[in-house]
Chains A and B, each alone.
Chain A
């Protein structure tokens, strides 16, 4: 067992975890943050994407102890209080989700993608960069639409309103 201490969604948290505990299990089981999902065993599906120190990371590909000392944002910490993050709002507006299981990972990936492309995004780039996130419901059509729309919203100088992911 090791002690794990990190900032999650703006709060300092700590706990003991087996050395083999993955970050995703630590978030889900120790912290009760069940919005981050596990959809595979091989780091292919992306349902577990969170932001670690400002970067999108598959939380199944990192041990909890490795994340110790880091700042983590999960889907639960993305909205600014009652105000949805623009990516969350765009997924709702454009019907970018159906069963909702891949959605947290999609939104965290999309947020990171938009942050890395302040110049804006095109469809081909969005589709290429979604390579690590699998959705079985939507055929991606509306996910792509939502990300492109959110990218536009976020580049329209709404920075003050929308809290960028850490």
Chain B
């Protein structure tokens, strides 16, 4: 490892522009002639559109165009789709309702887009939007997935009887039933995973520009995967063929999953630009983001776990109702199925598992992947169950887990996944040591003297990253392949550009990806540029989500570097009149091993482009492309321990310490990995203590601003104690597992296990707000 190579704690290259105010986000983009859009959105959760009158709005100052869904449909713009096909257990395909980018006959959630207004200024667009007169006939709404299938519940889409999208099974029901018949103990729980709003700090935005002379569209958008955006807008939404549509995702201010999906606004801004003849920019305000960004989680689960008399797990039964909201977002069907139920074996040997998932429409914002996507829900079920079992059996939570850990690899679970490598006891030991678990009883006694309830809780999570291989996900219903591409261009003076299909929106790719190049060729980081986020520059890519950019994106770069290295060595061998196999790359030069004969890297590059003296038959130039399709998922895992103090008078919880011991495989930049863990922990702790999206029964979102939805602030969180251990992933050339989501996956059960330990009640909903905790304490002490 050099000072800028793999494993080095290198400060980020991209920081300079962000700390000086020179970042370039979509809202910072200005195109000549650009005008501004505002959307008229449904104020009702469920209603028929009887009439749309745009006359007054059209006459408002500065208004350029007021466009409706009927015009959009007449122009052939297609409905939004979900790109992952799930089949119900009876073999029938999922029931996808129509989602028009602008609603024209019916609205299905508060925030559903109905009309776009384009005007000279943002203020004028908003003023005119208020002047659009829409007559609605209100319909009954349902917001709770556990009630949406009840008799008499409103029917949201004609395609989905009883609002049931699919009724899906995984595992083996008979074997699981047999396991339960042998059980000495059965632990049962009803578990709700609370609905969350991702809230990237940069609100979503889109700038659509139709160039009439070229018959070409450009879309600047806040996307985690601009190529997928182009693919979907071209293949399904009929905006424009791919060669006439350029999608650019410049600096993007956080995503957390919510910016994976293609939303109505990008499509409508592009279409409106052609209709009005001006570039059209739309930027969400925060309440619009709350209303229309894809929400996360929202599972209702009943789980039962069977144990033998020695406390070994025999089987697991899980039934989950997943609220997918009013429309199926792009990957919404994958989250509660293949990203959730396939992780229900946790870190444990479980001989038999059966899970059933019902995905259900409600009159709420669409629900899709949010940091962790299914895996936090699975971890919450497993780790609440294990803690509850330990309490029920009167045994140590750590030892119950340890007794059931998977210890040999590869390990095939009953729910598809084949874990490739891990050492779960190592993470458990590291976390217990770092938290001084052994000394907890003393600390609890000391807290009790102050009148405070001290509790400790753990969570041993496993997750799956880098969803792959493409053929396997295709067989499971994915509409896309989940490979990644890279192109390495060595310039004539030896500097290097790496074009990647991954997209950085905070992950630091411009630094870590460059570290790979430095490690391989010794070229300084400053001479390596990472190019991403533009479909005109990078040919194709699948973007960044699911902690895939290390394991998949960087592996693609490695494959391209292999090809560059092979050609560079051929050139050097030719120049040095040596054998190709004797060439090594060291300190920025290609050398004949064991001699002082060498050619500097830049001279080799120049030779590739002057082409005056290349090996016979070799093409000039030095540029290589690779597409990398992994052989398996990767399986990061770890142990988190949370220690809390609860004030019984107020129900206020304070996190005293939070310890994270993760196994991410090999690490490129520890500083960036730690940052990813910190951020994930904050979101997971936010879910456990503070955050919750609440609709009233009529479908109005009650938590639609930062005044109503509690985002974690600095004062809500402690400094974290994080560490990593390493069992390299055997499935990719770098041995990387991925680190982007672990914090959000592993932390909620640790927090809730700690609070329930403190208060002596095992029944506690998230978010564990002071009033919820106080009520739980009262319930245990009064009865």
Q: Which of A's residues lie within 8 Å of B, judged by CB?
A: 18, 20, 28, 32-42, 44-45, 47, 74-76, 78-79, 84, 88, 91-93, 95, 97-104, 107, 123, 126-128, 130-131, 133-145
Contact = CB atoms under 8 A, between A and B. Distances in A.
22 contacts: A32-B30, A34-B27, A37-B202, A38-B27, A38-B203, A75-B19, A79-B20, A92-B15, A92-B19, A95-B675, A99-B505, A100-B17, A101-B23, A101-B200, A130-B713, A136-B199, A137-B506, A140-B713, A141-B678, A141-B720, A143-B714, A145-B719
Contacts of B253: 37, 39, 99-102
Interface string B644-682: 000000000000000000000000000110110011111
A40 B505 CA distance: 19
A126 B251 CA distance: 28
B506 A141 contact: no
Contacts of B24: 34
B616 interface: no
Contact of A136 (B20, B23, B679): B679
Q: Which DSSP category, helix, strand, loop or mixed, fits chain A's interface?
A: loop
A97 B202 CA distance: 14
Contacts of B30: 32
Contact of A42 (B251, B707, B715): B707
Contact of B18 (A18, A103, A130, A139): A103
Contacts of B22: 35, 76
B374 interface: no
Interface string B499-519: 000000111100000000000
Contacts of A42: 286, 705-707
A27 to B, nearest CB: 10
A40 B285 CA distance: 6
B706 A40 contact: yes
B599 interface: no
Contact of B707 (A38, A44, A144): A44
A10 to B, nearest CB: 15
Given A98-B675, A136-B679, A140-B678, 19 more contacts: A20-B123, A32-B30, A34-B28, A35-B20, A37-B25, A39-B202, A39-B286, A76-B20, A97-B15, A98-B506, A99-B200, A99-B202, A103-B23, A126-B714, A127-B717, A130-B715, A137-B201, A140-B714, A143-B714
A33 B20 CA distance: 11
A97 to B, nearest CB: 6
B714 A101 contact: no
Contacts of A131: 713-715
B555 interface: no
Contact of A39 (B203, B505, B680): B203
Nearest to A103: B18
Given A42-B286, A95-B671, A98-B507, A35 B21 contact: yes
A41 B708 CA distance: 12
A127 B375 CA distance: 30
A36 B714 CA distance: 21
A140 B707 contact: no
A45 B202 contact: no
A28 B200 CA distance: 20
Contact of A88 (B19, B672, B674, B680): B19
Nearest to B671: A95
Most buried by B among A36, A139, A143: A139
A135 B623 CA distance: 39
10 closest Cβ pairs, A-B complex: A35-B21, A101-B253, A100-B18, A139-B682, A99-B506, A98-B506, A75-B21, A44-B706, A139-B678, A130-B714
Interface of B: 11-12, 14-25, 27-28, 30, 123, 199-203, 251-254, 256, 283, 285-287, 505-508, 671-672, 674-675, 678-683, 705-707, 711-715, 717, 719-720, 743
Contacts of A32: 30
Contacts of B251: 99-100
Contact of A135 (B23, B201, B286): B201
B21 A45 contact: no
A19 to B, nearest CB: 11
Contacts of B199: 136
Contacts of A107: 19
Contact of B714 (A28, A41, A144): A144
Contacts of A91: 15, 19
Given A40-B286, A100-B506, A139 B20 contact: no
Contacts of B21: 33-36, 74-76, 104
A127 B201 contact: no
B25 A101 contact: yes
A92 B12 contact: yes
Nearest to B23: A100
Contacts of B711: 44, 134, 136
A71 B283 CA distance: 29
B544 to A, nearest CB: 12
A40 B705 contact: yes
Nearest to A91: B19
A85 to B, nearest CB: 9
Given A98-B506, A136-B683, A137-B506, A41 B201 contact: no
Nearest to B682: A139
A69 to B, nearest CB: 23
A100 B505 CA distance: 9
